[in-house]
Structure 1
Amino acid sequence: MSQLNFISRSLAPLQALPSFLRTRAQSVLFQRMVPFTGTAGIQFDEVSSDRVALRLANGRRVRNHIGGVHAAAAGLLAETATGFVVAVNLPDDKLPLLRSMKIDYKRRAQGGLRAVATLTPEQRQSFLDQPKGDVAVAVTVTDESGASPMECEFVWAWVTKGV
């Protein structure tokens, strides 16, 4: 992971921790940065410059009227994964902004959810080369059965801070 920004510098010391402690420490760190992720109970399993993997248990706080993860909570999980993979790559002088999101719910989710967002090397390089722009971030959400209950499209923009 590069040392581009505050987030990646904050994560660097956690890499020395055993995996089970590192995931918990990452979750605490990010929940302090974006408190709503803690309110929902999002857990950060993997954070690198090209991939962020999160999970959300089907707990009481996020459950809908039919016993599954609420659609809004599922959307929050996908949005958080895409936002953090962008944020971990942006230099400190740039600001990420969600430009658009489209979510198609395909089937009822079974149990908890996992979201994995990824960036290509070319996408990551564009954050460094361009003062502003936008990027479509790939994200896959799966449930405990391994199926994808939803399809998502997230476009994130970045601008220079103060503009």
Structure 2
Amino acid sequence: MANANKLSGIVNKINRLPDFARSRALTLFFGKVVPFTGTTGIRIESLDQERCVISLANKRRVQNHIGGVHAVASLVLAESATGFLVGLNVPDDKVPVIKTASAEYTRRAKGDMTVQAHLTDEQRERMRTEEKGDVSVPVTIHDSEGKEPIEIEMVWAWTPKRR
């Protein structure tokens, strides 16, 4: 597939780096592009047009009062993973924006968190061809026990840059 935008072109180049350097390069790059993500401690494990995997170590600075990853930190993970993915697929003449973020906390999270987000071919095609629209981006969060302590829905929209 041709690059959807400049961002995907840069990520495609980073993805050609050796395995040992790829995650660090993606994490540093997005820390510059989206300054807030550079302060969160998230690590981009893998990213391409179809799928994003990011993680967050359960360190003191992201913990809640019971020693788990803070609820808002888990939302930041989901928003980041889905946002990076949408950002790679929305053409340069459109702007992606988060429309809805909802979370249901179903159990206590244990340890580090890993988030996976993905887009279907149909969703990616809509982003490329429709002037504006929105999609619910499938996302799952797993803790260090492999359980899903949070059910999350992230709806992203895109609109033309200039109206």
1:86-116 alpha-carbon deviations (Å, 9 max, x no partner): 1110111110011111100111111010000
Uncovered stretches (5+) of structure 1, i.e. residues with no partner: none
Paired with 2:35 and 2:61, the residues of 1 have a C-alpha distance of: 15
Secondary structure (helix, strand or coil) at the match of 1:126 reads helix
TM-score, normalised relative to structure 2: 0.96
1:153 aligns with 2:153: yes
- Bigger shift: residues 30-39 or 132-141: 30-39
What corresponds to 2:73 in structure 1?
73
**What SS class does the counterpart of residue 116 from structure 1 fall into?**
strand
| Distance in 1, Cα, partners of 2:140 & 2:104 | 12
| Match runs of 1:2-151 below 5 Å | 2-151=2-151
Paired residues of 1:57 and 1:111 also in contact (CA < 8 A): yes
Does structure 1 retain, via aligned residues, the 8 Å contact 2:52–2:84?
yes
**C-alpha deviation, 1:2, in angstroms:** 4.1
* Separation of aligned partners in 2, 1:105 and 1:32: 31
- Structure 2: distance between partners of 1:43 and 1:105: 22
Task: Classify 1:133/1:40 alpha carbon distance in 2 versus 1 (closer, same or farther; 3 Å).
Answer: same
Residue 69 of structure 2 contacts residue 112 of structure 2 at CA under 8 Å; is this kept in 1?
A: yes
Provide the identity percentage: 47
Q: Which amino acid aligns with 1:135?
A: V
| Range moving further from structure 2, 10-19 or 116-125 | 10-19
- Mapped to 1, the partners of 2:87 and 2:110 lie a distance apart of 30
User: What is the SS of the residue equivalent to 2:64?
Assistant: coil
CA distance in 2, matches of 1:12, 1:136: 24
RMSD: 1.0
Q: Distance in 2 between matches of 1:8 and 1:136?
A: 20
Divergent runs of 4+, >6 A = none
Letter in 1 for 2:116: V
- Give secondary structure in 2 for the equivalent of 1:30: helix
Q: Deviation at 1:20?
A: 2.1
TM-score (norm 1): 0.96
Cα distance in 2, alignment partners of residues 111 and 15 from structure 1: 28
8 Å contact kept, 1:41–1:56: yes
Read off the aligned partner of 1:55 and give its amino acid letter. S
